[in-house]
Structure 1
């Protein structure tokens, strides 16, 4: 059974960064090269990307000092520059600026990238638990360069930020998927709209992800998404163990809110609720138009009976492969553009357990990563 590297971390950001950089040094170097090469394919020079990353480094230092301190320690212990680590942590904004350019160029070959996520309320699951799930579809070269972080800070409200467990890429501080001690969980999807990258520097996506999982209350988890405008569009699926899920389509200037119907909400990579701007991911990746509706149909027929086996089977769906819910590499594309399901994710908000497949769910088993492994029965969905 393949398991991911797991970092056992504590409350001190500099120590977290030191452990991260030392443990994952090779993977950090690989991810830096992967993204610089990807940006070059999209038409951006390395020099321009690193120049932009310097601006992001200064912004993050002023926006979230603890996050910046952790980045600095990663850079020092991995033997890379803070600018390169800032590039990884602002890569969502840099990436979607590049994708915005690709979407506007109708002559470019359509490229496959994106994710399919869903939230299940207690009435939809066989166990009565609240679950957030997704396939995280991204660059094939990132596979093998991801990790799980278990951060022990506090299990008691009012005594520090909550403990959390999350999944991320080597070199990136914020976890895109995870759950904390309060039972607050997160999954995400990429979106593309015309305003992406045109509005200046705003709180980066990965910083927002960390701040969501820093929250003790549900309203505090929503605040990092909705309080300030954004540089790039993204979809946040945020849930609470007590049976609340909100899907937020967050574009640079607007937010639209989608709530579960009969206990289920599903999202892919195009706007379905927000009508004040134009969705553009489908110009790059037309498969987003069927992945969400298809997954909704697969899951909806078993509402109230959805257990781990049914959820995994849904995440393994291969309709229109390789551009399926379970993504496989399209070998007709250059290596820098090939996308796979890098990880399948099931977040158990009730038991505070992250279940992850290290690769496409059709090829890799799900492994349980509990926030509190000392607690009995923390591996079942």
Structure 2
């Protein structure tokens, strides 16, 4: 591994071999991921680790129906890390197990969900100084995740290369591929989140890393039955960009929004589409969400027509005078271990130049390093064909 706080891990070969290389190289960090979610599931979902593994394995057949490649990658990670497929499946369905249980308790007992989420930004060519498509995200999650994050650089034989900033052992999160497709994302929670078996959130994100363009990215979200609520913000070198807010279900459970008249997108952890008519647990359970969204929109509007990677970094550093609801998140000083949320990573991407800027931790305290992937993500490659079965 390199000396960066968040190690850069490059893998290649077939799916099983890529997974094995990932698991072997990130073995220690994957062990920390497993330890963290063992404690999270016990507290938030009332699940011991053995039960969590058994529940997670129920998702394997739906994943295989979409693409055997993703199951092979999971198995390879397990083999390389010296763990079982159940262990790796459990951390890859952490959202379904955790958020599903917390959403149920919110419905039944009035308990709130996690106090933090993420802030995502998108800029289309008409709004950027370079006429490029830009994406950005503050990933707000457990403070302990700072000891699990890796930058995974994947060279595929049968699909596009991609780079993703992700918790060790998970397939994908925020990322950019060699077809010029970028993805940033937000946690959502709705009245329909029950942890039902289907395609997990992080497997959907992995599928988007194989997209050939914005339209193919949307098709990938539409052609499988998703297990949990989430926002997928997609931007492409073509200049196309959209936000898909999804609840558990098929294509009829996706709600689309497009860039505003200024060419911007912004999202946090509640539903914004007028088409959504259900119970929005995120708006109630993550009280910072509407404040962060309004602040992000205001800061983005001030850069109409001349947004740059630097101006997006400025937005991601913002505290708005009140750190309890700020875009740049910090843990409360008196919070218990599993209630300490912070901006674990801050990412800006230029889909056209294949550049990534990464702050390893809160961006107000950590500089953005420029990661030049112009060579690694240079060659455009056909997208993997999904098993597109009727939902």
1:147-296 paired onto structure 2 within 5 Å: 147-153=150-156, 160-173=158-171, 175-197=172-194, 200-253=196-249, 254-261=253-260, 262-273=262-273, 274-296=275-297
**Partner Cα distance (1:63, 1:240) in 2:** 23
Deviates more, 1:258-267 or 1:71-80: 71-80
RMSD in angstroms over aligned alpha carbons?
Answer: 2.1
**Partner Cα distance (2:334, 2:151) in 1:** 31
Partner residue in 2 for 1:379 = none
**Is the contact between residue 119 and residue 186 of structure 2 (CA under 8 Å) also seen in structure 1?**
yes
Are the structure 2 counterparts of residues 11 and 218 from structure 1 closer, same or farther at C-alpha, using a change threshold of 3 Å?
Answer: farther
Are the structure 2 counterparts of residues 150 and 242 from structure 1 closer, same or farther at C-alpha, using a change threshold of 3 Å?
Answer: same
Aligned residue pairs: how many?
A: 369
Deviation at 1:308? 2.8
Q: Which runs of 5+ in 2 are unaligned?
A: 379-391
**Partner Cα distance (1:279, 1:168) in 2:** 26
Partner residue in 2 for 1:10 = 12
1:15-164 paired onto structure 2 within 5 Å: 15-46=17-48, 47-104=50-107, 108=111, 111-153=114-156, 160-164=158-162
**Is the contact between residue 271 and residue 279 of structure 1 (CA under 8 Å) also seen in structure 2?**
yes
SS of the residue 2:59 aligns to: helix
Q: After superposition, what is the alpha-carbon deviation per residue over 1:260-315, rounded to whole angstroms, capped at 9, x for unaligned?
A: 01110111000111422121112221111111111100111111222233211110
Are the structure 2 counterparts of residues 130 and 331 from structure 1 closer, same or farther at C-alpha, using a change threshold of 3 Å?
Answer: same
Deviation at 1:107? 5.3
**Is the contact between residue 7 and residue 150 of structure 1 (CA under 8 Å) also seen in structure 2?**
yes
**Partner Cα distance (1:50, 1:211) in 2:** 22
SS of the residue 1:143 aligns to: helix
**Is the contact between residue 117 and residue 140 of structure 2 (CA under 8 Å) also seen in structure 1?**
yes
TM-score if structure 2 supplies the norm length?
Answer: 0.89
Deviation at 1:375? 9.4
SS of the residue 2:313 aligns to: helix
Deviates more, 1:205-214 or 1:25-34: 205-214
**Is the contact between residue 121 and residue 264 of structure 1 (CA under 8 Å) also seen in structure 2?**
yes
**Is the contact between residue 2 and residue 365 of structure 1 (CA under 8 Å) also seen in structure 2?**
no
TM-score if structure 1 supplies the norm length?
Answer: 0.91
**Is the contact between residue 59 and residue 199 of structure 2 (CA under 8 Å) also seen in structure 1?**
no
